Amino acid sequence: MIALRPLDLVCVDTSSFVGGLISDAEGRDACSISTMCHSFPVLEPDGTILDTLETVRLGNIYKDYTGTNLIIGRFTKAAPENVQKAIQRVKQDIGKIYPYWRLAADAFDLGRIIHSDSKVCSERSVWAGWLAFGFEPFRKWAGWTPGQLAFVLKYCKGFQIVFEGTL
């Protein structure tokens, strides 16, 4: 079992049809790990996650993603009180419906321009990171993709990879 912490950020390589479309769109970005097409924040060390699929819901990384290729990254300078505040804020989104129309905007690299308060999975992960860590590139969460987030987790100072491979 992986030693997870609240607000570890996870990027997933899935084989779904929608995931394939996302990966194809991300392949145009040099600062992206284009195989990553889904992401979510960890909420609890037991593997509880905030998953954004059809709706925003609680899930469990071990039950929902075993057998899946993923990257788990951690911001190394997180203040515990900020992490708990961020978790409480992002949990307020539970039950919101996934904004499928945003996939079309992101496919044409318009996600940073055409958006609303409805966040896709990677934007919700980045937003949680901004709330908890104050990591400046995360301040503008709109338009972030799972591949871009995976790139930051792997290559930016202040993050460490907790796990990379098949869960």
Q: Classify the phi-psi angles of 97: left when phi > 0, otherwise alpha if psi is within -120 to 50, otherwise beta.
A: beta
| Residue 62 maps to a domain | yes
- Asked, for residue 2, whether it belongs to a domain, the answer is no
- Has residue 76 been placed in a domain? yes
Least confident of 3-17, 111-125, 146-160: 111-125
For the chain, how many structural domains are there in total?
1
Q: Which of 138, 158, 134, 160 is nearest to 148 (CA)?
A: 138
Domain contains 4: no
- Which residues contact residue 156 at a Cβ distance below 8 angstroms, ignoring those fewer than 6 apart? 137
1 lies in some domain: no
Task: Please report whether residue 21 resides in a domain.
Answer: yes
Residue 81 lies in a domain: yes
pLDDT at residue 19, as a whole number: 47
Distance, CA of 84 to CA of 4 (rounded, Å)? 15
Judged against a pLDDT cut of 80, whether residue 54 lies above it is answered with yes
Q: pTM for this structure? A: 0.86
Range of the domain at 100: 9-166
123: CATH: 3.90.1720.10
